[in-house]
Amino acid sequence: MSDRPDVLIVGAGFAGMYAVHRFRSLGLSVKVLEAGSDVGGTWYWNRYPGARCDVPSLEYSYGFSPQLEQEWDWPEVFSAQEDILRYANHVADRFDLRRDMQFDTRVTAVEYLDDVHRWRLTTERGETLEAPFCVMATGCLSVPVKPDIPGAATFAGEVYHTGTWPHHDVDLAGKRVAIIGTGSSGVQAIPELARQAAHLTVFQRTPVYTIPANRKRMRAEVQDEFREHYREIREMQQNNQGGVSNFRPIKSVRRANVSPSNAFPARLLDLTPEQRHATMERFGLGALLGFRDIYTDPDANEIANDLYRETVLTMVRDPETAERLLPKTYGLGCKRQVLDRDYYDTFNRDNVTLIDLTETPIESITSRGVRTTTGHYEADVIVYATGFDAMTGALLRANIRGRNGRKLEDKWRDGPVAYLGLQMSGFPNLFTVTGPGSPSVLCNMLVAIEQHVNWIAECIDYLRTHDVGSIEPLRTSEVEWVAHVNEVAEGTMYTAPSCNSWYLGANIPGKPRIFMPYVGGYPRYRARCEQEAANGYPGFALGDRLSP
Ligand code: N01
């Protein structure tokens, strides 16, 4: 590991891992600092029971190495956390990534040194490291948040957050478990916790729209067909709004004698009310994923929300519980679509109780459980499934200071300002992977990560070969880009006034309400990045090299 690396990288998740490989290929020396004890990022930390990915694994995988694509076997279509982490470990071993990584090292300050044009990183242990380039590969959902509930510190039992689940086995047998939060993490964890615990009490503030996940094992012939077509599939990903190819393994479908299911038209509004109900009866909640107008047409959205609610009422036996589980204050498409395994059925179990916090809010946590305005619920374990300070959290927590000591926190007081989610003016040679203003969380993250890391690598290479010392966006570029990011988000389901999501920062008290990811689609975004590079970075200021 180099003591004077060309590039310092913060984070050894999928972004930091690929950055090591890609930068090395250009002859750059690198050093990664990672707070965890190993690679994997999100998949290293989020080990709660039921954790899995909502993008098919054959697509949620690196595309940079054809050999890797051919040699890795995925056991399921949508992989569980442990399989994705196994993949991350395989990649780290195969490309010998760990030799440039320092684990158990949290970065506490990232400062630009004006006089020497270098970045200095300080770690929790007081260690300092310097390099001319710094890449923040810190993830979009990596700072877990816990609500500030009076008395929380007095709870005498075990406390877990889904985003920092322990690495040892958690034995819930015979225990009373309370879980707070019903977003993606809560919805995945709840059925598993209910199976393991003596009793589970679910504290729900906002009911969720959740659709049953595809739970198929991987068929060898499907995997083979993907492998055969991988180059074409990667190309399709590059041209898809969300970075997924939607490749259909036609041969294996035919072989299994499954009829290709395009059973209904693409628009919900094209169906008669009778056809809509028949479709829901036949295909269940999953049918709604097939209609594109749900996400673009408010009338279709309203109808879909009603169909969703009607269907849930048939899935949960106790009518009062069913009624409480119905999302009513916002529509489908406002939040990240949640996928589940047995979520609604879990509320038919005798050992599960649902508490609706809009009727009876939490007042406090006591040494023995959770107190709401109408009762006290005894618990041996409290699980917080209360989400993350998304997209900006990890960057702000790193205490980044740019030119003249300017704090990123001050620059972003009214919301994140960055050009293409890649760089900020006033912070030369500092790059963010999947930063705010890039498609990131609206895209297949692996595709978004590879595109960003490739762009950054080629940019650094350009600076070296053109004898340029520094790069940072023009102030006008980032202001125009932020305006464009807001403009394309305007009028979508994501920014409806009734919508409160972490995309908007709405889950963090005091966080400016700004739609952070770029909703204009991955291909359009990618084309803009490519244009910048091809034209010699006209939207950026390029600075002279310091004389040695
Ligand atoms: O977090 P969330 P998450 N009192 O913010 C509730 C990705 N992910 O970890 O909506 C009571 O979505 C909060 O209630 P409300 C995915 O991108 C992916 O579940 O604020 N409740 C909400 O119910 C996802 O979108 C996968 O009213 C409180 C919950 O906690 C993102 O991570 C799996 C509360 C937080 O939900 C985040 O998901 C898991 C309080 N004081 C995660 N504060 C897959 O790939 C918060 N809540 C499938």
Residue nearest to atom 36 of ligand 1 (CA): 183
How many whole angstroms separate alpha carbon 62 and alpha carbon 69? 8
* Nearest atom (ligand 1) to Cα of 205: 27
254-284 pLDDT per residue, tens: 665 544 444 557 899 999 999 999 999 999 9
Three-state SS at 29: coil
Instruction: Report CA(343)–ligand 1 centroid distance (Å).
Output: 15
Q: Find out whether the beta carbon of 147 lies less than 6 Å from any atom of ligand 1.
A: yes
Q: Find out whether the beta carbon of 42 lies less than 6 Å from any atom of ligand 1.
A: no
What's the topology of domain 7-143+389-538?
Answer: FAD/NAD(P)-binding domain (3.50.50)
Tokens of 99: 């030799």
Q: Find out whether the beta carbon of 385 lies less than 6 Å from any atom of ligand 1.
A: yes
Q: Of all helices (H) and strands (E), which one includes residue 3?
A: none
10-65 pLDDT per residue, tens: 999 999 999 999 999 999 999 999 999 999 999 999 999 999 999 999 999 999 99
- Distance between first and last Cα of the chain: 24
Closest CA to 113 of 402, 370, 328, 390: 402
* Nearest atom (ligand 1) to Cα of 335: 25
Three-state SS at 130: strand
Q: Find out whether the beta carbon of 280 lies less than 6 Å from any atom of ligand 1.
A: no
Tell me, what's the pLDDT at 261? 47
Would you call 464 exposed, middle or buried from its count of C-beta atoms within 10 A (0-12, 13-18, 19+)?
middle
Low-confidence ranges of the chain (pLDDT < 70): 1-2, 253-264, 546-548
Ligand 1 test: best mutation among 373, 386, 501, 508, most atoms within 8 Å of CB? Answer: 386
Residue nearest to atom 39 of ligand 1 (CA): 185
Tell me, what's the pLDDT at 250? 80
- pTM of structure: 0.96
Each domain of the chain, given as residue ranges in start order, spans 7-143+389-538, 152-220+261-384
DSSP tag of 260: P
Instruction: Report CA(442)–ligand 1 centroid distance (Å).
Output: 16
Tell me, what's the pLDDT at 253? 65
500-548 pLDDT per residue, tens: 999 999 999 999 999 999 999 999 999 999 999 999 999 999 998 765 4
Domains 7-143+389-538 and 152-220+261-384 share a fold: yes
Ligand 1 test: best mutation among 53, 79, 85, 205, most atoms within 8 Å of CB? Answer: 205
Residue nearest to atom 41 of ligand 1 (CA): 147
Bridge-based pairing state of the strands 369-372 and 376-378 = antiparallel
How many whole angstroms separate alpha carbon 2 and alpha carbon 210? 47
CATH number of 152-220+261-384: 3.50.50.60
HSE-CB at 476 with a 13 A cutoff on CA atoms is 3
Instruction: Report CA(502)–ligand 1 centroid distance (Å).
Output: 8
Q: Find out whether the beta carbon of 243 lies less than 6 Å from any atom of ligand 1.
A: no
